Structure 1
Amino acid sequence: MITREKSEKLKTDRGVSIRFNANDIASGIQLAFTFKGILCRETVGFTISQNGLNAASNLLGEIKNKIAKGTFFYADYFPKSKKLKLFGGAVTGATVKDYVDRYIENAEERGLAPSTITGYKKSRNGLKPLWLVEVTELDQLMLVNFVKASSGKVKAKTISNRLSVLRSALDDAIIDKLIIQNPVAGFKISKHIKVESNVNARKQHNAVTPFSPNEIEKIVGACEGTVKAIIQFCNATGVRSSEWVALKKQDVCLISLEVTIYEAVVEKQTKGTKTMSGRRSIPISREVAELLEEEMNMHDSDYVFLNSKGEHWNQDSFRKHQWSKVLKKAGVKYRYPYQLRHTFATRNISEGINLWKLTKLMGHKSPQQLYQHYGNFIDAYEKKSKRGNAA
């Protein structure tokens, strides 16, 4: 234990001092230096002795030397310092994983949606071949090799998502002045691998394969009970799977014959719709209203639909254990349940619904999304209308 009085016998160089507590007992050694025009004071963990003070002086000289050369990274020496908010957390030899991890941690602190965080983490896992590459060494040749190696395993869209996360993460490395340019900025994977278009020559969106009326009839006929009610409800309203599992009794009005979508279940968490346009009211027929009423009268839960165990549905479980069995029994080619939403959209388009109205029913911001997914159906209806008017 060294008191203030005893410390007077120790020699300290400029910029090195001994800190004391309220009882005048030495508590640590502090360095003082100027970095980027800001006076910095940091405590170092050397023993409070002449040898410790000498080591602190040597460390301070090393820091000042690196500052003069422009090679000083604050986090290298003081990784837990509050000053990192000013100077960034860059360290010598920082890797791609260091920055991607930091980007995800920041996203969590900002309270981004769980589904977004999950997507970031999946992209981080996909970037594993680049994890140990130092950020200062990453170049576009490495990116080209990464893209080509990944192309045989995953779709171009997945690769693009991974690079998008990497690009955003490395923007912080620029802020930290670790790199001058982001190697991912402006990088186009289409220059290095074949990228399949989502729309074919007939303006058909490859992801849109709606069920025909005959298929819907077979599907409905191949199920019963709550599963049948869910499928009929989705076919009649075009709601997303994340929305029907979150539907509550208070969201259903059997008098005005409409349901209102307020929430969705994403990554097992119930939350409000992603956008304001996602919150919407959808008219239902008397038949659908009766189906919902029957489901609601079966239990005391706040939710409309419950599984056979009396529990809240999980959309993935429904798809794997119910939906797939129903389609197999119906003899209908397997497609994801989301195709019921596409079926709702294309059916309404073929019946000549106003596109702005359909936009609101589906929870989109504008009809542009309808043109992107259902352009060929819209064109077909317009041609049919012109032929009818000409006749």
Structure 2
Amino acid sequence: MDARHRGITIRGNSAQIAFTYQGVRCRETISIPPTKAAQKELVLKRQAILYEISMGTFDYSKHFPHSRKAKEFRKTRADLYTIKEAMISWLQRNQTKLQKSTLQDYNSAIYYHLLPAFGELTISELTASKVKEWLSILPCSSKRKGNILIPLRQMFDELYHEEIIDKNPLQRVKNLPTKTREPEPFTQEEVTKILHELTGQAKNLIQFAFYSGLRTSELIALRWPDVDFENNRIFVTSAYVRGQFKTTKTKSGKREVTLQPQAKEALLTQQTFTRTQNQTVFHDPDTNQPWRDDQPIRKKVWIPALKKANIKYRNPYQTRHTFASMLLSRGEKPLWVASQMGHKDWGMIIKVYGRWIPQSK
């Protein structure tokens, strides 16, 4: 071919078209019959490609649907790249960085909520108003809605910083306000009644929960090496979530907790059950195996005990509230209580437990 046809190389029954797209030199091979008419069409095709590139409308996958480059360049076109494609790609790139429980949460949010709602849209088609409208009819709590949006927010933030999009619509979608449940701590009389209905390992677990303030996931992750009887303390370093040990959620969550007398008593009694068997302190008394999660505790231990004691149901997290209100009511400093609870500062203590803090005269 003559100079007018530069960028095209004929090779038997195929031809190679060369062009530059987004600063990258591209070469694509296509099959053509060895005729002048076919070669003329090839010249027109390259001219069309160059024109579309100059106008910013070039769709690589439309011209070369089977090209590996097409898949890569598609990712740079917000008007062509679908949210489904981007979301799945984002998850694959980031899954090794995520805790197992977090990955499960993201998979649930992505495949059960985000993709059915927005998967077929291109990146550029998603707007803040579409997300807000969808949230308004999503049948779950405000907190859950916020959690569902997390992977979508992270993906769009990444697209924005990579300059694939100029504006991030998720920045205009604020998380809905969540209602903070008012603490309903148990009275000392109620605690006594509940513990009276329990025996053995079940009693040790619930007694320790009331007097240590640990979250259930922290309780079932506690190991004997974390217990320091000599210095009257335990070390909270991990949580057991969905069958996996993980580090505490925040830096302040990793903490040293002073053993209250009743908590120490529960641990001393528990030694006879698990100290020589396994490093995990608390076990399911029915199987003598470590607890898998908090649900069996609630169903097999907590609910039956409250029913027998004829006490109004409150969830097991109220043992943590009971611990905090007990310490504050007896005059312990809020900052110290915050450290025992695993809060980074005492702001949360004042906000949630302010009415149990004695007023100074």
The TM-score, its normalising length taken from structure 2, stands at 0.81
**Residue 133 of structure 1: how far off its partner (Å):** 3.0
- Where does 1:293-372 land on structure 2 (aligned, <5 Å)? 293-299=268-274, 300-307=277-284, 308-314=286-292, 315-372=294-351
Deviations 1:110-135 (CA, angstroms, capped at 9, x unpaired): x0223333333333223333333333
Which sits farther off after the overlay, 301-310 or 171-180? 171-180
Specify the SS of the correspondent of 2:249.
coil
Distance 1:222 1:57 in 2: 88
1:56/1:362 CA distance change after superposition, 3 Å:
farther
Aligned-pair identity in percent equals 28
Pairwise mapping of residues 136-215 of structure 1 onto structure 2 (< 5 A)? Answer: 136-150=124-138, 153-174=139-160, 179-188=165-174, 198=179, 205-215=180-190
Asked whether 1:129 is paired with 2:108, we answer no
Q: Give the stretch that moved more between structures: 171-180 or 65-74.
A: 171-180
Higher mean Cα deviation, 260-269 or 285-294?
Answer: 285-294
1:52-98 deviation line (CA, Å, top 9, x unaligned):
x96987765554333212123567757744994x9845465433333
| 178-187 or 274-283: bigger deviation | 178-187
Partner of 1:4: none
> SS in structure 2 opposite 1:185?
helix
Query: Higher mean Cα deviation, 343-352 or 166-175?
Result: 166-175
Alignment match, 1:115: 101
User: Deviations 1:2-33 (Å, cap 9, x if unpaired)?
Assistant: xxxxxxx9xxx6445699xxxxxx9x976543
Q: 1:98 to 1:175 in 2, by over 3 A?
A: farther
Distance 1:74 1:358 in 2: 61
CA distance, structure 2, for counterparts of residue 42 and residue 334 of structure 1: 70
Contact 2:101 2:241 in 1 (8 A): yes
Cα separation, 1, equivalents of 2:194 and 2:304 = 10
**CA separation of 1:346 and 1:106: change in aligned 2, threshold 3 A:** farther
Give the counterpart letter for 1:155 in structure 2.
S
State the shift of 1:313 in Å: 0.6
1:1-391 to structure 2, matched below 5 A, reads 14-16=6-8, 32-36=18-22, 38-41=23-26, 44=29, 46=30, 61-72=47-58, 80-81=68-69, 84=72, 88=75, 90=77, 93-109=80-96, 111-124=97-110, 125-127=112-114, 128-150=116-138, 153-174=139-160, 179-188=165-174, 198=179, 205-299=180-274, 300-307=277-284, 308-314=286-292, 315-378=294-357, 381-382=358-359, 385-386=360-361
Whole-Å Cα distance in 1 between the matches of residues 46 and 300 of structure 2?
65
Compared CA separation, residues 94 and 17, structure 1 to 2 (3 A): same
Q: Which amino acid aligns with 2:337?
A: L
CA distance in 1, matches of 2:217, 2:224: 16
Matches of 2:48 and 2:189, distance apart in 1: 79
Q: 1:357 and 1:167, CA in 2 relative to 1: closer, same or farther beyond 3 A?
A: same
> Runs of 5+ in structure 2 lacking a partner?
none
Q: Secondary structure at the match of 2:20?
A: strand
**Distance change >3 Å, CA 74–CA 47, structure 1 → 2:** closer
> Following TM superposition, by how much is the alpha carbon of 1:209 offset from its aligned partner in structure 2, in angstroms?
1.9
Distance 1:227 1:42, change over 3 A: farther
What is the CA distance between 1:227 and its match in structure 2?
1.1
Q: TM-score normalised to the size of structure 1?
A: 0.75
234-243 vs 157-166, which moves further: 157-166
| Whole-angstrom CA distance in 2 between matches of 1:40 and 1:242 | 54
Unmatched runs of 5 consecutive residues or more in structure 1: 1-8, 20-25, 199-204, 387-391
Q: Any idea what SS the aligned residue of 1:260 has?
A: strand
Q: Is the 8 Å Cα contact of residues 79 and 124 (structure 2) preserved in structure 1?
A: no
Quote how far apart the aligned CAs of 1:354 are. Answer: 1.2
The 8 Å contact of residues 78 and 124 in structure 2, kept in 1 or not, is answered as no
* 1:201 alignment counterpart: none
Amino acid at match of 1:237: S
After TM superposition, the structure 1 stretch with the greater mean CA deviation from structure 2, 126-135 or 238-247, is 126-135
RMSD of equivalent CA atoms: 3.6
In structure 1, what is the Cα distance between the partners aligned to 2:56 and 2:99? 39
Counterpart Cα distance in 1 of 2:162 and 2:59: 9
Indicate if the aligned counterparts of 2:212 and 2:263 stay in contact, CA closer than 8 A. Answer: no
- Residues 99, 246 of structure 2: 8 Å contact kept: no
Asked if the contact 2:9–2:16 (Cα under 8 Å) also holds between the matched residues in 1, the reply is yes
